[in-house]
Amino acid sequence: MISYTVLTPPDGADRDHASTLFIADRFVLSALLLPWIWLLSRRMWFAAFVIFVAECFAIFLIRQPGLGAAGILTILAIHALVALEGGNLHIRHLIGGGWHVAGLETAPDLATAEDMFFAGLPEPVETPLPSASDWAKPNSSSTQGWSAPAFGLFDNTGAR
């Protein structure tokens, strides 16, 4: 089972919830392979910069005599950390940007999590449409009884 954090945008959820995000709390393989590129794709600029600088430092360690193993372990630790905690970092980044946590769903897949979350939302309030009899009622700004000359083909009283 995977835990999904449900986030809504800062200005509130859309009517059809198209902008609602479901972020899974799980291991991310693409973040393991290229962590700073994965962070850039999520618009986490500062975190991507920090990871890039840390990897450059690890590469510097690899090139130093006697510190190659330390540099390789540093790179592996950085990649593993981003792969394991990347989803949580993404959630924290969005919350800092004004997004709101709407809930937490635990489900085997994304489709089931979406079904469970949207099934628990309240039904929208339907406003009744005006009846046909409401359209036939003249309002106070009606032009009935106007006897001035008409500008077009017909005057305001309906005569020709």
Concatenate the DSSP letters of all residues of 56-82 into one string.
HHHHHHHHSTT-HHHHHHHHHHHHHHH
Give the model confidence (pLDDT) of 70-103 as tens digits: 999 999 999 999 999 999 999 999 999 999 999 9
Q: What is the pLDDT of residue 105?
A: 92
Number of folded domains that form the chain: 1
Whether 160 is covered by a domain: the verdict is: no
CB atoms within 10 A of CB 100: 13
Whether 80 is covered by a domain: the verdict is: yes
Domain of residue 90 covers 2-119
Give the model confidence (pLDDT) of 105-126 as tens digits: 999 999 999 999 888 877 777 7
Whether 132 is covered by a domain: the verdict is: no
Whether 131 is covered by a domain: the verdict is: no
Whether 63 is covered by a domain: the verdict is: yes
Whether 152 is covered by a domain: the verdict is: no
Residue type, 98: G
Q: What is the pLDDT of residue 81?
A: 95
Cβ contacts of residue 14 below 8 Å, gap of 6+? 20
> What's this model's pTM, rounded to 2 decimal places?
0.68
Whether 133 is covered by a domain: the verdict is: no
